[in-house]
Chains A and B, each alone.
Chain A
Amino acid sequence: MTSENNVTDTNVKIAARDVQVYYGDNHAIKDVNVDIEDKTVTAFIGPSGCGKSTFLRCINRMNDTIDVCRVTGDIRIDGEDIYDRAVDPVQLRAKVGMVFQKPNPFPKSIYDNVAYGPRIHGLSRNKAELDDIVERALRRGAIWDEVKDRLQAPGTGLSGGQQQRLCIARAVATEPEVLLMDEPCSALDPIATAQVEELIDELRQNYSVVIVTHSMQQAARVSQKTAFFHLGNLVEFGETDKIFTSPEDPRTESYITGRIG
């Protein structure tokens, strides 16, 4: 595709080995091995229910909050096993931010929604700094212009697409090293989608971004690497260009040409 899709840095940020996930007896993720690089956008694609969200949630240990969920295998971020006993999942999640599939603003004001993370982690020394952080996050979430006059209005009063961008702003406000985005644009119009994609591209300068999407065009536009999941298996993983032009696995080809999904 375009030249900016070229991978500039090949440092491995997240390394997953033999990851299995079970929900009770349901084997949702089977033997997944993947290396996600730093300063790269990686897209997860695949039919509904194939385990994209599940695998994404392994990376920041959000699956810990589900009682029936069991994760085995080995996931390392910067070489450190995140499922190690010594690792504090709370600390991990501050480093690995997440935007959820369904927008979930807190029942607080727009300002407090974005300031939530910075306040918890003590990222600002005074009110003025916090104001700056909030404004910058809202700008990056492509929602500043719409809400700058009503920062004290409740976040739950926004439209679905605005709520989703608020959640993106909330996630980037804590300056995570890795940002996991689960279908962040599914509720957005084309203009907001373009703005979010711009944000993703900007984030790539510093962070590693993983995005789940059902839009092949979006995966092709924003990502450098693409992983195709099917029935809990990671079928194919590689350069986005290659996956979309000459996939090796027949299942991948069927999916991107619209025959399964």
Chain B
Amino acid sequence: MTAALQIIGLPLPLALLIAVGVIAAVGYMLTRARAMTRAGGDARGLHSLPRYYGMTAAMFAAVPALGVMVIWMLAQPMVVQNAVLPLIPAAEITSAGTQSLILSDVKRVADGLDVAVAQGALKRADIAAMADDPSGLRETLGSVGVALGSDVKPYVLQAAEASRGLKTKGQSWMAIVVLVLALGGAALALRAADPAFRARNVVERGILVLLIVAASLAILTTVGIVLSMLFESINFFRLHDWKDFFLGTTWAPNFRGDSDLSILPLLWGTLYISIVALLVAVPIGLFAAIYLSEYAGPKVRAVAKPLLEILAGIPTIVYGLFALLTVGPFLVSIFGRGDEGLLGVEWMSGATAVLTAGLVMGIMLIPFVSSLSDDIINAVPQSLRDGSFGLGATQSETVRQVVLPAALPGIVGAILLAASRAIGETMIVVLGAGAIARISGNPFEAMTTITTRIVSQLTGDTDFASPETLVAFALGLTLFVLTLGLNVIALYIVRTYREQYE
């Protein structure tokens, strides 16, 4: 079976995919035709439109077969790995780390052998001959482009061979199972194609299942992300006192060990920069939204709104460059340089500072705040404005006393969403805020944030058993909890506000 499919020259999964597709298409036509014939050629005699009968066949053929294929492909490597594990001498496995190293060696050798055989550099017989002394294998594999870190040991070769055998066998079985499922499904639908068969309802069910699967995948991924962060964080807290992490006041990682890893200075930097950003973004964004929704004519709005939203499409790294190269030096020329500066003061020594990052982040958030607020202000019913105008109120009185109070909960929600974006923002602070962890109120000083420290703890040489690296996960989790909390509150507020006018 595998051989037959590989004659076409396609990798097996792709070939199977095409085969299942063909079976589904043929099943569609046959079933549709059969339903029509059994209804005596008159579609009105059928319970559902003819295409629904075809769709049941396509659905029955494709969905179970492809589902099994995906699961099989995910599960097979694990099964194979467990099967070859007993072939490795117990003496070699000194810890969980060495076991995984050996297993990855095995996998690499097995893949290398596949390549070598495919290119004709090795024959089956050659491999068998090498079973006792595979030291020449490293060179052979190197010649086909698979570099190995050390000479191949006999037990590794043995395990690799075993896993290759299992893999081929597994793939053959997979091909058989998938094709049988596809044919069986199509046949089932073909047999059921009877004028009384409720094909339309079955398709409806199928679509429902599809949607539920999509939704659960999205949720499961989130759960997976959280769990993986949680596990690594737990590992971190095994190595580092949690009280020091949450309550200590020094951040001084040291890759030789014995570091001070406390979140407070980073949290302070994060919050300080975010507050500066919100101080910039909220008034400007809100006023822009009020202008656009209450004052601007349709022509101005048609031009200004997309323009504002272009700001939202700029990658944040570009904002970061802007902070580093333009805003930072500009601020220094105002607040720094002593007598040469604009104010003649010496408050700011470097371009990276809380103010730089905060300002630029604020600019980044303006379109975010304004487009959310604009939606919310537009949701305030026109009849309220009419009521206010009808009493002789001016435009700004109406905005201040009727529109804004009515929109306030929604606007607060928008601001909280903006705040959670500010807290999670990375690139702007990496480039604009500096790298010094400290708790200080001076906005002209460089400070650092949780996100930038995560980046720096995970770049370069990392050892996933040291607290200096694992702290990144604890930081990430704290950040996640923080922004999640803000988002939940914000969404709750926005939602209760929406219901008010529905």
Contact = CB atoms under 8 A, between A and B. Distances in A.
A, B from the same assembly: yes
Contact of A117 (B382, B392, B500): B392
Nearest to B381: A104
Contacts of A106: 384, 387-388, 402, 406
Interface stretch (A25-33, A92-100, A205-213): A92-100
A60 B392 CA distance: 10
B139 interface: no
A102 B383 contact: yes
Interface string B367-410: 00000000000000111111111111110010001100110000
A107 B390 CA distance: 16
A3 to B, nearest CB: 34
Interface in A68-117: 90-95, 97-98, 100, 102, 104-108, 116-117
Main secondary structure of the interface of A (DSSP, over half): helix
A120 B406 contact: no
B389 A120 contact: no
A254 B387 CA distance: 35
A93 to B, nearest CB: 4
A234 interface: no
A255 B406 CA distance: 42
A171 B390 contact: yes
B298 interface: yes
Contact of B391 (A65, A102, A108, A117): A117
A93 B392 contact: yes
B441 interface: no
Chain B at the A interface: SS class: helix
Contact of A116 (B298, B383, B385, B401): B401
Contacts of A170: 387, 391
B297 interface: yes
Nearest to A156: B500
A72 B470 CA distance: 75
A4 interface: no
B386 A65 contact: yes
Given A100-B386, A102-B383, A104-B383, A174 B391 contact: yes
A65 B393 CA distance: 13
A130 interface: no
Nearest to B385: A65
A120 B392 CA distance: 8
A111 to B, nearest CB: 14
Contacts of A105: 387
A120 B298 contact: no
Contacts of A127: none
A107 B392 contact: no
Contacts of B393: 90, 116-117, 120
A104 B383 CA distance: 6
B392 A90 contact: yes
Interface string B478-502: 0000000000000000000000100
Contacts of B382: 65
A121 interface: yes
B387 A91 contact: no
Given A67-B298, A104-B381, A107-B406, A116 B388 contact: yes
Contact of A93 (B298, B389, B500): B389
Contacts of A98: 390
Nearest to B297: A67
A50 B392 CA distance: 27
A81 to B, nearest CB: 19
A43 interface: no
Nearest to A67: B298
5 contacts: A67-B298, A93-B389, A100-B383, A117-B393, A171-B390
